[in-house]
């Protein structure tokens, strides 16, 4: 099992095409074909079906292992390249719903002790943020997601990256003003299984929607692929459906109401990610973000 072959398998599974995998990896189509064939020969079974190109069960499983291995290799490379050195600029990756006040406080704090510090913030989804930290493109990441109370988000192998919880906030169901449940004190998700939903994976995380009552429900779904909270809320206010959002983001709703989610017991959680072997500057950034979050 060569790294190269695993990378090829992963690219093929991801893109659904040998040709595109070859383009992505800078190989010829033929090379990818040979690499996957070598892997299949080695494990003695087919890993992807051809035409259409889809992973078999074994291929899917191997691709998952491959993804973890390649991520860890990225982390290893990044950690080693940071041994000793310390960059002038601090790159922060942020996933959509991180409490915005947190960043501002932390950066002001950092600037006060290091006035010449350049900070660069990029908005990414959680998976991409993890990849950026792993590859060293970002120094730290603020990522959010849905989890059980006091449970970590499972963003990477435990221990691969240093992660600390910054904040947890309750989840609310956002309803149009005239919704029959709008005056409830709290809501169980089951009763909304067949309701029309507005699904925004990059906002509230796909975890919420994967919960069984929702996954099995037959209500109409509206997908919103953006990051913008106001748009999301206006969709709800406009009567297109209901949505789950973190309470911390729902201070001022216009034409909608937020009702606390009672079951399932889930919270919106924000974590801070960094490489485990951090430089002095990264360490300071982590501390600043931690103290900012406890100040909020």
Is residue 3 close enough to count as binding DNA by CB under 7 A? Answer: no
Q: What is the dihedral of CA 218, 221, 227, 231, to 10 degrees?
A: -120
In contact, 131 and 74? CB cutoff 8 Å: yes
Is residue 67 close enough to count as binding its own copies by CB under 8 A? Answer: no
Specify the long-range contacts of residues 178-181, CB closer than 8 Å, at least 24 apart: 179/242, 179/257, 181/259
In contact, 100 and 293? CB cutoff 8 Å: no
**What residues contact 88, with CB distance under 8 A and at least 6 apart?**
116, 117, 118
Minimum distance from residue 26 beta carbon to DNA (Å): 7
Structure tokens at 280: 């002095």
Is residue 31 close enough to count as binding its own copies by CB under 8 A? Answer: no
75: partner contacted, choices its own copies, DNA, none (Cβ within 5-8 A by kind): its own copies
Footprint (CB under 8 A) of its own copies, residues 154-183: 154, 157-160
Minimum distance from residue 159 beta carbon to its own copies (Å): 7
Backbone φ, ψ for residue 78 (5° rounding) = -65, -45
36: partner contacted, choices its own copies, DNA, none (Cβ within 5-8 A by kind): DNA
Give the contact letters, 93-132, x = binds to its own copies (CB under 8 A), - = no. Answer: ----------------------------------------
Residue 86 to residues 82, 168, 278, Cα–Cα distance (Å): 7, 31, 9
Minimum distance from residue 74 beta carbon to DNA (Å): 19
Q: Which residues are registered as beta bridge partners of 208?
A: none
111: partner contacted, choices DNA, its own copies, none (Cβ within 5-8 A by kind): none
Q: Which of 54, 61, 111, 220 binds its own copies (CB under 8 A)?
A: 61
Give whichever of 66 and 199 is closer to its own copies, judged by the CB atom. 66
Is residue 43 close enough to count as binding its own copies by CB under 8 A? Answer: yes
Residue 100 to residues 76, 106, 114, 170, Cα–Cα distance (Å): 31, 10, 22, 17
Is residue 279 close enough to count as binding DNA by CB under 7 A? Answer: no
Q: Is 171 exposed, middle or buried (0-12, 13-18, 19+ CB in 10 A)?
A: buried
Give the contact letters, 4-33, x = binds to DNA (CB under 7 A), - = no. Answer: x------------xxx------xxxxxx-x
Rg (the chain; Cα; Å): 22
Place of tokens 């079951």: 263
Is residue 65 close enough to count as binding its own copies by CB under 8 A? Answer: yes
Give whichever of 85 and 116 is closer to its own copies, judged by the CB atom. 85
Footprint (CB under 7 A) of DNA, residues 203-262: none
220: partner contacted, choices DNA, its own copies, none (Cβ within 5-8 A by kind): none
Q: Which of 170, 146, 171 is nearest to 243 (CA)?
A: 171
Footprint (CB under 7 A) of DNA, residues 53-82: 53
Size, binding site for DNA by CB under 7 A: 21
Q: Where are the alpha helices (DSSP H) in 159-225?
A: 201-204, 207-210, 212-216
Q: Tell me which residues touch its own copies (CB under 8 A).
A: 1-3, 43-45, 57-58, 61-62, 65-66, 68-69, 72-73, 75-77, 79-81, 83, 154, 157-160, 277
Q: Tell me which residues touch DNA (CB under 7 A).
A: 2, 4, 17-19, 26-31, 33-38, 50-53
């Amino acid at each position: 099992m060569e790294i190269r072959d695993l990378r090829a398998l992963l690219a093929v599974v991801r893109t659904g095409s040998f040709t595109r995998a070859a383009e992505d990896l800078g190989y010829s189509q033929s090379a990818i074909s040979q690499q996957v064939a070598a892997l299949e020969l080695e494990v003695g079974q087919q890993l992807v079906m051809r035409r259409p190109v889809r992973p078999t069960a074994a291929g899917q499983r191997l691709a998952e292992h491959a993804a973890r291995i390649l991520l860890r290799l990225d982390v290893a490379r990044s950690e080693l390249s940071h041994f000793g050195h310390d960059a002038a600029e601090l790159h922060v990756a942020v996933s959509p719903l991180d409490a915005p006040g947190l960043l501002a406080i932390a950066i002001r704090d950092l600037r006060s002790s290091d006035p010449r510090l350049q900070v660069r913030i990029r908005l990414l989804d959680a998976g991409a943020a993890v990849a950026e930290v792993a590859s060293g493109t970002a120094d730290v990441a603020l990522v959010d997601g849905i989890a059980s109370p006091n449970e970590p988000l499972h963003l990477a192998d435990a221990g691969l990256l240093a992660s600390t919880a910054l904040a947890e906030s309750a989840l609310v169901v956002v309803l149009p003003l005239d919704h029959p449940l709008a005056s409830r004190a709290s809501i169980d998700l089951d009763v909304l299984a067949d309701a029309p939903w507005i699904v925004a994976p990059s906002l509230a995380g796909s975890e919420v929607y994967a919960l069984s009552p929702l996954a099995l429900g037959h209500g109409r779904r509206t997908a919103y692929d953006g990051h913008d909270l106001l748009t999301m809320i206006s969709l709800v206010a406009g009567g297109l459906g209901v949505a789950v959002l973190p309470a911390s983001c729902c201070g001022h709703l216009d034409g909608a109401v937020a009702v606390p989610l009672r079951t399932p017991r889930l919270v919106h959680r924000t974590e801070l990610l960094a490489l485990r072997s951090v430089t002095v500057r990264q360490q300071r950034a982590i501390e600043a973000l931690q103290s900012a979050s406890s100040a909020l």
